[in-house]
Structure 1
Amino acid sequence: MDKKRREKTSLKTEIQNLKKINTLSVVTELIASKEQCGILSKKFQFLKQFGIGYFQTHQFEGLSITIFDVLFKQNLLLEGTLYDDFLEMSFLIEGEQIIKIEGVNQDLIYESQECYLLYLENIKGSISYRKRKRLKEVKIRMSIDFIKRHKLNEEYDIAEKYSLLQLQSNFLKPLCSKTQDILSEILTDQRKGLLKRLFLESKTLELIALKLETSSQETKTSSSLPTDNLVKKLYQVQHVVSSDLSIQYSIHQLSRQIGLNDFVLKKEFKVLFGKTIFEYATELRMEKAKQLLLHSKKPIYEISELVGYKNSTHFTAAFKKIEGITPKKYRNTSESEKT
């Protein structure tokens, strides 16, 4: 029995003596509620015997965004039927869930650093949550009116392409670095009222656009893509590289951190992203360098350190090789064009 199968078996075995509920209100209490500029925001705290943490919701004009952050003390089973049709995006930043859906033969194991986009119609099922496991998730639901307002069905045939019965068990995808950046913005946002509404709707549309774009790219290259488990590891590599550009990781360091063979990592990263890890990292470094040159007064030696070059001479040479001019000339040219 391989490691993946053992983990799934262990997960199913542990979900015993479940506390069955049909709504989270049974195990939580409302601690805050506010309506401002048409956005209704509520925050619920989990009762101490069930977990440490909260979930909060923001609802307006056919859009519902729920954020979970809780460490469960008991195994919970949330059962129910959803009668409305809606588009749902979920991003599981941390945690594990077993999803059972009527009409789908096998249980779905939803794990950390995965996400999905689904069109759900009159769905019945359950979600199991594990005790001693932290759940950190962002879940977004869009009504039919929201879908029509943004012409998602007209342009992308959302209802058919992302129907659960059509996708079955392969709808779970790894979180990419761009998605994680957007989620981080949502989780740390402190806006209120109208600004909160505008911000959340714009980020929802950004996430949908990113998801549709990624799905389109995957369709074009599906025949050559690595296996799902390997893809997840490759997205982890992408996130490690992009999360701190001041660090220049070697292939060996990334391989050890993610748990992949050096050769496999290099080969499959290029298959998935169409460029080597070095090319990907350099592209990000140069884009960040250009932004800093254009929009900050930081000296070039400081910018070089921020994008992973300890020696500003090496940074200047790398920048000139790609952009055709030195960082100094790039900044001066841009400033002269403004005037």
Structure 2
Amino acid sequence: MENVTYNGRLNKVFQLLIEISRGNFSYRLERTDKRDELEALTAIVNIVAEEIKDSFLHQGYVNMHDSYMHLVQMIFFLDKNFNISYANKDVTQLLQWESNELLDLPLENLLEKESVIKWMDYTKSLSSDQDFDSNLRLVFKTKLNLQFPAYCKIVELPEEKYPKARYMLLSSDIIKNTKLYERKLQSKILKQIRLPRAKHSLVEKSFLSVSDLETFRAIGTYLKNNLDKNAPSLQELAHEFGTNEYKLKKGFKELFGMTVFQFLKNERLRNAHVLVKSSNEPFKRIARQNGFKNATHFSREFKARYGYTPRDLRLNS
């Protein structure tokens, strides 16, 4: 019996790794009270999935014009007993259930244990005349028993318009747009196939080692942590991180899709955008904190990047 349980846990680890390889970074493994090597592996795989998703989202926002990000929304219609009367196709994609399997199923059947308790408590407030919070964090179970954490919004539907559905539950998530990725890969392969043999043999391959990648990631982190300082030269950066200027210039762009200075400027503007929107700091101080010469220079670069000025953003936030 113990071997069966162990193999079941191991299969879940394999399943999550398969989902990660497919570009689905939102799934997690259920933790247990075991203190064995497999539980340690479970924790590590969950952390890896979390880190990859964070990196994926970061790259998507950095390269919005060339993004692999794809928004999906789970939508459930629930009747007065909180059974599912409708689920959209994104539900079947994310939770791996067929539509006919979900019809009339209690929503709690799709939730992990702690979320079942949370959901049952929540439905009591929905059934009463009390005001209820329309936002809730739930952890869903896929058909293969992976966990899918989601922030949900619950909306009460007007009975006269929706006689069979009393509530709508929505949740949004960002996943990898595999169709876009496949089209780009197909285009790249076809382009190389059509090249004359002499030229095809000269198609450039990545020259970066694992050590190089770690170095350039460290440089990226250093730049993000020193946005207020004057931009160092490529020569200074290369010397500081033990590489050479040519490799830094070429390798950094291969890794991040932009030059060192484009990366730094992008991070400065992203950080400034957050400060403008969420604080009352003077623009002059925000400009100085993010390495811009003055407020005028900051405002000009900000508008060129976002299409509106810092003042416009703050007035409409």
Do the two structures share a fold, i.e. TM-score over 0.5?
A: no
Normalised to the residue count of structure 1, the TM-score between the two structures is 0.37
Normalised to the residue count of structure 2, the TM-score between the two structures is 0.40
The structure whose residues are more often strand, as a share, is 1
